Structure 1
């Protein structure tokens, strides 16, 4: 029984200063990291939109090969099953349209 009481009396732990120092370091790291994450998110959305434009352009070419004419609107591609309805917009909210037989963001 005495061994158990000695075990609780002999606790070794972190001091308040050590814990505050660790919290300070974590806070500084978060302050430095969060703005960089926001910048990367914008870059990823722009890159994703350009990739989606290339996808729609390739589907325009497939449509052209099948029907011997370019689609007049992006809805032609949706109706024929070349792209899905949700692919008419980028994740950033920009709408993809066809202008002169090529996909553009408007």
Structure 2
């Protein structure tokens, strides 16, 4: 029986700890970069949505002869009027923009 145990090979505790340490370091590097990229993707998606809705504003003007006065006028032209992150979009002076970028007041 003791011969069988002596001939079996496996990982030592030190080897396992080193592997876990290396994996932990790689995760510490990778996870923040992934979350940062997610924010960039959401921002780019919002910009694309704004461009799409802006083009639909032009279509609305051609079809109706007047510019839309509110985002609710565009419900027949676009399915969504929010960004991927849930931020509302508003129409101000014929230009589509994020609600946080719109001027408040007259």
TM bin, normalised by shorter chain, reads: 0.7 to 0.9
Q: Which has the higher helix share?
A: 1
Q: Is residue 44 of structure 1 aligned with residue 37 of structure 2?
A: no
Structure 1: state its 5+ residue gaps: none
Q: Which has the higher contact order (CA 8 A, sep 6+)?
A: 1
Shift in Å at residue 29 of structure 1?
A: 0.6
Q: 1:1-106 residue pairs with structure 2 within 5 A?
A: 9=5, 10-78=7-75, 81-84=76-79, 87-106=80-99
* Displaced runs of 4 or more, over 3 A: none
Distance 1:83 1:55 in 2: 8
Structure 2: state its 5+ residue gaps: 100-106
Q: How many residues matched?
A: 98
Distance 1:27 1:16 in 2: 16
Q: What TM-score do you get using the length of structure 1 for normalisation?
A: 0.82
RMSD between superposed Cα atoms in Å: 1.9
Shift in Å at residue 65 of structure 1?
A: 1.2
Shift in Å at residue 63 of structure 1?
A: 1.0
Shift in Å at residue 41 of structure 1?
A: 1.3
Q: What TM-score do you get using the length of structure 2 for normalisation?
A: 0.82
